[in-house]
C-alpha cells in the first residue's frame, strides 16, 4: 500500500527496516524546490506543446533540460489530470492542451 501511494505521488519509496522488536518505516516528502521544479516542467511542457503539437518526448526533454523519463512521467500526470490529450493514430498523433 505504501509503495502504491508513493508511486501515485511520484515520491521516493518508503524505507522499511526490521528491528529486534518490530520495524521502522521511513517516509519521504518532496521539498518545496522539487514541487516548484515539477510545476515549472509541467508549464514548460504545455507551452511547448502549444507551439508544436507534434513535439516528441525527446524534443521536450532536450528543450526543457530534463531526462526523457521525467518528461514521460510528467506527460502521464498531465494526461491523468485532463490537462493534455494525445489525439490521432500512431502515425498522425499530436498533443492537445485542454486546460
| pLDDT tens track for 13-55 | 888 888 888 888 887 766 655 555 556 888 899 999 999 999 9
The parent domain of residue 44 ranges over: 2-97
| Count: domains in the chain | 1
**d(C-alpha 64, C-alpha 41), whole Å:** 7
CB within 8 Å of 96: residues ≥ 6 apart: 49, 53, 84, 85, 86, 87
Does residue 83 surpass a pLDDT of 80? yes
Which CATH number belongs to the domain containing residue 49 in this structure? 1.10.10.10
CB 3 within 8 A of CB 13: yes
Confidence category of residue 10, pLDDT binned at 50, 70, 90: low
Amino acid at each position: 500500500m505504501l509503495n502504491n501511494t508513493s508511486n501515485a505521488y511520484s515520491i521516493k519509496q518508503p524505507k522499511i527496516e526490521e528491528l529486534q522488536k518490530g520495524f521502522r518505516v521511513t517516509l519521504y516528502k518532496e521539498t518545496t524546490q522539487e514541487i516548484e521544479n515539477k510545476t515549472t516542467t509541467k508549464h514548460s511542457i504545455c507551452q511547448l506543446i502549444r507551439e508544436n503539437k507534434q513535439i516528441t518526448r525527446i524534443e521536450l526533454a532536450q528543450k526543457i533540460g530534463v531526462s526523457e523519463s521525467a518528461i514521460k512521467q510528467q506527460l502521464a500526470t498531465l494526461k491523468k489530470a485532463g490537462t493534455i490529450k494525445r489525439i490521432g493514430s500512431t502515425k498522425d498523433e499530436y498533443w492537445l492542451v485542454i486546460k
